Amino acid sequence: MSTTTNAPTLRELVQREGIIRAPGVWDGLSARLADQAGFEALCASGFAIAAGLGMPDAEVFTATEGLDAVRKIREASDLPIIADIDTGYGNAINARRTAAAMRRAGVSAVFMEDQVSPKRCPICVGDPVELVPIDEAIGKVRAVKDGLGEDVLLIARTDSTEDDAIRRAEAYVRAGADLIMPVSKTFGSLDGWRRCHEAAGVPLVASLTAWTWVEREFTDDAMAQAGIKIAMLATHGVLAAATAVRDSFTRLASGEALPDVSGRYMEHEDFVQMIGFPQVELLQQKYLPEPEGA
């Protein structure tokens, strides 16, 4: 059950002043928590969705599983969703079909990278990732744009570096991309991001991935100077959840007294309120039959 009403669209948010922060979510619970925390948009993070399935971010899960996660996120929140579609799960035709399905699922934007399929998360591997030739990547951007239509924004991600990344960014914008998303390894300094923004002529998207240099150095002022409009916190939520659950399960498995472990949890009543029990109770009363003689 959604907790948000009358949320501004992503396009409206992009046209406003200031940085849009979109935390990485992967299911209804994480979406509800992000919504209630006060964020204005959500990132359906491939890294987090894969982790929620017990898998690495290596395009192991399918487009259908990604769509299923997005639908659960959409049911929990009305906030704009920026969906990770990895490489589009194949060639241009696959990517177009994936984009159209995401549009029907209610996303406000998708981002697709220019790696070969299956992709390899660049922050999880040491060597450079393999990219598709630029002409093929341009065709996939065009195909995704056709699948999205005019209402859903297309963020073209490039996993290239330096001058080649800028060349690709310019080409992707000509092919229909609304925003460009370099990754943390694309440039070695903020100046590279500035040059990319100037060359592409559209806002940039940055993933402030935990433990990377961009997380440390991309202040609001720095992002504004570099033309960055959307800051995605793709890994923070799932790392926080994994850290907390691992700690709790390790303590429970060791035989530690249950009250000592649960004493650090959210209180039961707080969880009941957060998850929406009061709203469900009201709905149940609404649909019960009228008492006799009423």
Give the active site residues. Answer: 57
Q: Which residues have CB under 8 Å from 218's CB, separation 6+?
A: 190, 206, 208, 226, 228, 231
Q: Which residues have CB under 8 Å from 25's CB, separation 6+?
A: 31, 34, 42, 43, 44, 45, 48, 73, 237
Cα(9)–Cα(79) distance, rounded to whole angstroms?
8
CB count in 10 Å sphere of residue 103: 17
Looking at the DSSP bridge assignments, the partners of residue 155 are 111, 179
Please enumerate, as own/partner, the contacts of 2-5 that have beta carbons within 8 Å and a separation of 24 or more: 2/75, 2/76, 2/77, 2/78, 3/32, 3/35, 3/36, 3/76, 3/77, 3/78, 3/276, 4/35, 4/77, 4/78, 4/79, 5/78
The burial of 294, by beta-carbon neighbours within 10 Å (0-12 exposed, 13-18 middle, 19 or more buried), is given as exposed
What Å distances lie between residue 247 and 26, 33, 278, CA to CA?
21, 20, 30
The burial of 239, by beta-carbon neighbours within 10 Å (0-12 exposed, 13-18 middle, 19 or more buried), is given as middle
Secondary structure class of 25 (helix, strand, coil) = strand
Cα(172)–Cα(149) distance, rounded to whole angstroms?
16
